[in-house]
Amino acid sequence: MQTQAGVLKIDLSALKSNYKQFQSMTSAHVAGVVKANAYGIGLERVVRSLLDEGCRQFFVATVGEGLALRKINFNVPVGILGGILPGAESECLHANLTPVLNSLEMVHRWAAFAKTQGQKCQAILQFCTGMNRLGLGADEIETLTADLSVLDGLDIQIVMSHFACADEKDHWLNQEQAKRFAEIAGRFPLVQKSLCNSSGLFRDKAWHYDLVRPGYALYGGNPTPETDNPVCPVVSLDVPILQIRNVKKGEVIGYGASHVFERDTQVATLAMGYADGFLRAHSGQAKLFWRGQACPVIGRVSMDVLSVDLGHLQGETPNPGDMLEVIGPHQSIDDLAQSAGTIGYEVLTSLGTRYARLYV
Ligand SMILES: *Cc1c(COP(=O)(O)O)cnc(C)c1O
C-alpha cells in the first residue's frame, strides 16, 4: 500500500553486526545505550536484537524509559542515566531499575530510601571528570570517599564517568578526563568501571575498563569523524514525490518566497517536512538523491512537505510516486546532519512517526 509517507528501513542485522564488531574490539562487556527510543530506531526491536547478541546491560535516560524497557525484558540490568528524582524511588526499585547517582544528594536520598525498604538497593555512581553536566563533583567525591559508610545500604554495581569530547581524537580533555577517572575509580577496587561512549570505544583501549557504553555507533553513526565510518549503516530513508511542476525564471517557491528561480526548471514536492524530523534548518541546504544524483532542497521546509529542484538531472527523471533517497548509500546520517549544522544524533532522534517503518 502507498501510504504517502517515507519508508524508514532499519537493518537489524547491521545493528547486530555493529554490536558484534564492538564486542570483538574489547575485552570489556558492550552495554547498549537505548535512551530516546533507541535513538529513534525503536526500543523494542533494538533491545531484542541486542539481547540476542548477548548484551547484558542497558542504559536509558529516564525512569519512564526504564519502565518501557521492562515491558520487553524484566531481568536485564538497566541503568537510568538521569538518576532519580524525589518521589520516583519506589517505582524505580519495584521495576528493578538501577539509578545512576549523579550527586551526593542523590546518594543520600537513595541510601535513605534503601533503609526504609530494609534492603540493599542497587546503584551506579557517576563521577564528573570535567564535563560538568552530571555526576558527583570533586568536592562531593572527596566527602564521599572520606567516609564510605553512606554507601552501606547500597549495592554499587558500576562506577562511571562520561567523555565530553571523545569524538575529537586528540582533544586535550580526553586525556584529562581519563586521568581523573583512573584516580577516582581506583578508590573502588571491587566495582566494575565504565568510561567510554561510542567514540571513546574507538580511542585508547586503556579507557575501556569493564563496560563500554556505545549508543550512536550501534545505530550506524560515525564515532570517528576524522576517518571514514568504521561501522555499518543501520538506517535508510526514502520519500515519495507527491507532485512535479514546471516553474519559470523569476517565480518563487514555498513559505516566505525565500527562493527565486534563476531559470526555468522542474521541481518536485515530497511527502516529508519538519514534522517528520527533516529539520527546518535544512531549508536551502540539504540534498536528496535520485539514482545517485543530488537534488537540492529549495525554499523552506514546511511541516509536511518540501521541494527539490530536478532541473539538472541527467537521463530518466522521476515521476510522482517515485522515491528519493534521504538517507542511504549516497547520504549518511552524518552527511545529512552536516547540511543543517547539526549532528547525526539529532537527525536520528528527530525521525518522525509518520514513516512506514520496515525492520529487515
Ligand atoms: C548517551 C550516553 C552514552 C552513549 O553515547 P554515544 O555517544 O551515543 O555512544 C553513553 N554514556 C552516557 C552517560 C550517555 O549519556
Does ligand 1 lie within 6 Å of residue 58's CB atom?
A: no
Does ligand 1 lie within 6 Å of residue 214's CB atom?
A: yes
Give distance in angstroms: CA of 7 to centre of ligand 1: 27
Q: With beta carbons less than 8 A apart as the criterion, state whether 268 and 290 touch.
A: no
Can you list the alpha helix ranges (DSSP code H) found in 188-328? 198-201
Show the cell assigned to 91: 517505582
Largest CA distance in the chain: 77
Nearest CA to ligand 1 atom 13: 162
Q: With beta carbons less than 8 A apart as the criterion, state whether 106 and 138 touch.
A: no
User: Residues for the chain: how many in total?
Assistant: 360
The C-alpha atoms of residue 258 and residue 292 are separated, in whole angstroms, by: 27
pLDDT tens-digit map of 147-188: 999 999 999 999 999 999 999 999 999 999 999 999 999 999
Does ligand 1 lie within 6 Å of residue 33's CB atom?
A: yes
Percent of the chain with pLDDT over 90: 99
Nearest CA to ligand 1 atom 15: 81
Does ligand 1 lie within 6 Å of residue 194's CB atom?
A: no
The C-alpha atoms of residue 54 and residue 29 are separated, in whole angstroms, by: 9
Give distance in angstroms: CA of 91 to centre of ligand 1: 24
DSSP 328: B
Show the cell assigned to 273: 517536512
**Average pLDDT over the chain, rounded to whole?**
96
pLDDT tens-digit map of 300-340: 999 999 999 999 999 999 999 999 999 999 999 999 999 99
**204/2: higher pLDDT:** 204
Atom of ligand 1 nearest to the CA of 201: 9
DSSP state letters, 189-226: TTSEEE---HHHHTS-GGG-TTEE---GGGGT--S-TT
Does ligand 1 lie within 6 Å of residue 124's CB atom?
A: no
Residue 1 scores a pLDDT above 70: no
Q: What per-residue confidence (pLDDT) applies to 17?
A: 98
Residue among 57, 59, 136 whose CB has most ligand 1 atoms within 8 A, to mutate:
59
Q: With beta carbons less than 8 A apart as the criterion, state whether 10 and 45 touch.
A: yes
The C-alpha atoms of residue 160 and residue 102 are separated, in whole angstroms, by: 10
Overall average pLDDT of the 116-132 stretch = 96
Beta pairing, strands 265-270 & 235-247: antiparallel
DSSP 318: P
Nearest CA to ligand 1 atom 6: 215
The C-alpha atoms of residue 111 and residue 36 are separated, in whole angstroms, by: 28
Residue 138 scores a pLDDT above 70: yes
3-state secondary structure of 229: coil
- Active site residue ranges: 35, 255
3-state secondary structure of 155: strand
> What type of residue is 187?
R
> Where does the chain show beta strands of DSSP type E?
7-10, 29-30, 32-33, 58-60, 78-80, 98-101, 121-126, 154-160, 192-194, 211-212, 235-247, 252-253, 259-260, 265-270, 287-290, 293-298, 306-309, 323-327, 356-359
pTM metric for this prediction: 0.95
Q: With beta carbons less than 8 A apart as the criterion, state whether 115 and 153 touch.
A: yes
CB atoms closer than 10 angstroms to residue 145? 13
Does ligand 1 lie within 6 Å of residue 282's CB atom?
A: no
The C-alpha atoms of residue 222 and residue 216 are separated, in whole angstroms, by: 8
Beta pairing, strands 78-80 & 58-60: parallel
pLDDT tens-digit map of 227-270: 999 999 999 999 999 999 999 999 999 999 999 999 999 999 99
